Amino acid sequence: MVALAAPAATRNVVVLGASYAGARAAELLSRTLPPTHRVVVIDRQSHFNHLYLHPRVSVVPGHSAKTFIPYTGVLPASDAGTTNASLPLSNKARHVVIHASVTALNDDFIELDRDLLEHERDLEGEAEEIETLTEELEPARLDAAPRDKKRSTRRLSWEYMIYALGCQLPPCLTSGARTKKDGVAFLEGRGAEIKRATKVLIAGGGALGIQFASDIADLYNNPDNVSHLNLAEGEAPPPKKDITLVHSRDRFLPLYKQEMHDEIVRRLEVLGVKVILGERLQLPPQEEDKPGTLKTVKLRDGRELEYDLLLRCTGQKPNSELLKQWMPEALDEWGFVKIRPTLQVDVAALPNADKRSEKLRRNVYSIGDVAAAGVIKAGHTGWNQAGVAVQNIMCSVETDALVANNEPTTPPKLVEYERSPPQIKVTLGLRHSASEMCKEMGDQETHFVKGEGGPVDGHYAMVWERMGADPSDFNA
């Protein structure tokens, strides 16, 4: 199988992963790339997953659909030829979103788990136009043997790459769903398990564990919130919850000010959540988690706890397996992607690095949670990294154009990512929160603030609008 070079007029800038960091990078690239390049966004999800609301909507029924946002607005329309790519591919678009999983990375191409033209019947235009797009997007053959000249629609050449595949969520929110329908079903299923439970045990006191504990307690044990249970007429109220939160550290969110820990402890006490700090659970294998069955588990000190629902809110694993297979030396000991201050993947340790393509050393970037950027894993840090990566790619693209035209040039002057201090907002029940934020962009000093009020659905509409989607039809 031979990967042919993509037509020079449409070189591909591929963004792997379209969560907070990747979606922002794709948007910026679609607004700035010259006509010689296109953005190809690859994400296995049919919709953008607003992950920060998943804990809330998996507790409070009736809101799950609001956290899955159509990708139609990620690549905003412009006079430069960009269109909203509502289909897996659109022959009317220069920039496209492809809903697929990447199965392999190569120095020259990316391989996908599905045909790019799987939904060919949905594409508009004449067959000749579709074939032209196929040739531009897919420059390889599935089988080069003379007996079969079928063109592969699973390989895609790349000129620049942004690796933004993030991290796998903790087990309590890990889902294999690729569509909105399946994602909603998963979250509603988790909510049904919580509704039936009587003794909820939460392992892990990071932001996720804190939010689960406080939301469950506030919804099910606070009479003021009974309306949010969405009970059918005549339906008996679900059982109140006995909630225990076990955290291995002696303090909640130790990266932040003491006021943050103190407010979390105060709110959990008000809500009746039992808190055990500085202890670890001797957890059973994950496959033994069967909600609804009363079980016991031991703490490290030998004490036993009863539960009929276990929520594992511990740890995230970087989605870096593809890079590990391609160039394992680019990963640190925890599996995160080593990057330079410019956010280019650090490939200096690659075997025969001097013989590998200059493209690998210069044109591969990593942003978001999967990157070892020295900052917290959060949407706002990935968002900021996207701007730096795009600025540097644009600088290189402009330099490449000068070289191609035999014009005088110097090596591109790339900008470096400036780290920001840790910032966070954690909900402490349906209408309470605690935040530690900078007052202005570029500040290095954070300020602690307690919050009250706000909608139960977490201002979801703001995120829809930011993604260029219409929040009035949240079932789209």
In this structure, whether the domain defined by 8-44+100-168+317-404 belongs to CATH 3.30.2320.80 is answered with no
pLDDT score of 48: 94
Compute the distance between CA of residue 442 and CA of residue 434 in angstroms, rounded to an integer: 21
3-state secondary structure 354-400: CCCCHHHHHCEEECCCCECCCCCCCHHHHHHHHHHHHHHHHHHHHHH
Residue with tokens 């296995």: 44
Higher pLDDT, 260 or 87: 260
Q: What is the pLDDT of residues 127-175, one digit of tens each?
A: 444 454 445 444 433 333 333 344 456 788 899 999 999 999 998 999 9
| Inter-CA distances, 158 with 4, 363, 424, Å | 11, 10, 36
360-375 CB burial, b ≥16 within 10 A, e <16: bbbbbbbbbbbbbbeb
Q: What is the pLDDT of residues 320-370, one digit of tens each?
A: 999 999 999 999 999 999 999 999 999 876 666 566 678 888 999 999 999
DSSP readout, 281-301? B-PPPGGG--TTS-EEEEBTT
Whether 32 contacts 396, CB under 8 Å: no
Higher pLDDT, 244 or 136: 244
Whether 43 contacts 66, CB under 8 Å: no
Tell me the one-letter amino acid at 162: I
| Inter-CA distances, 183 with 196, 251, 287, 431, 466, Å | 20, 33, 21, 25, 21
pLDDT score of 108: 87
Token pair in block for residue 105: 């990375």
Check pLDDT > 90 for residue 244.
Answer: yes
Q: What is the pLDDT of residues 18-64, one digit of tens each?
A: 999 999 999 999 999 998 998 999 999 989 999 999 999 999 999 99
Whether 118 contacts 88, CB under 8 Å: yes
* Lowest-pLDDT choice from 87-91, 188-192, 222-226: 87-91
Q: Tell me what the pLDDT averaged over the chain comes to.
A: 85
**H helix intervals, 170-220:** 180-196, 207-220
258-295 CB burial, b ≥16 within 10 A, e <16: eebbebbeebbeebebebbeeebbebeeeeebebeeeb
Check pLDDT > 50 for residue 216.
Answer: yes
Higher pLDDT, 218 or 233: 218
pLDDT score of 7: 42
Sign, CA torsion 18/23/27/33: negative
* Helical pair 379-404 and 20-32, crossing angle rounded to 10 deg: 30
Q: Is 53 helix (H, G, I), strand (E, B) or coil?
A: helix
Higher pLDDT, 86 or 151: 151
| Percent share of the chain, pLDDT over 70 | 85
Q: What is the pLDDT of residues 378-415, one digit of tens each?
A: 999 999 999 999 999 999 999 988 888 888 888 889 99
pLDDT score of 1: 36
Q: Is 259 helix (H, G, I), strand (E, B) or coil?
A: helix
Check pLDDT > 50 for residue 122.
Answer: no
Q: What is the pLDDT of residues 457-469, one digit of tens each?
A: 999 999 999 998 9
